Amino acid sequence: MTRPTSSRKIVCGDDVAEFVGKRVNSIIYPPFTAMGIERDGEIIAGAVFNSFTGCDVHVTVAGEGFTRGFVRAVRHYVFVQLRCLRISIETEKDEVIDYAKRLGAQTEGRKRNHFGKGRHAILLGILKEDWRF
């Protein structure tokens, strides 16, 4: 007997932003673009892009199960479609920090109480030429 495999796909929309917002205990207000991973009809991870300045876009990420296809889609969106020179990531999660650093991120600062009292955001930046994947 074989086990059924779960199906993952990349999705976009407000429900992804709601998922990310709940995970970081924030309301994410438009305008934004949200891209996520759906497994068996449920969102398991997401990235919300906002504060687009021309050279930079801020992204808030949450969840687990990021795939290579998702990482490629993020890279394409930020560096090809938007033509940004960098991506800024704000997170309080060690696993996101570690993953971002594997992609080429450098720690650029800390925002105190960004996600609530005692919940500081680590600010990371990845330049287009430093993206490793």
Domain ranges of the chain: 8-130
Instruction: Tell me the average pLDDT across 65-92.
Output: 93
CATH superfamily of 8-130: Gcn5-related N-acetyltransferase (GNAT) (3.40.630.30)
The dihedral sign for the CA sequence 97, 98, 99, 104: positive
Tell me which of 108 and 8 has the higher pLDDT: 108
Q: What is the pTM of this model?
A: 0.86
Mean pLDDT score across all residues of the chain: 91
Does the pLDDT of residue 106 top 60, yes or no? yes
pLDDT in tens, 29-52: 999 999 999 999 999 999 999 999
Q: Could you tell me the pLDDT band of residue 105, with boundaries at 50, 70 and 90?
A: very high
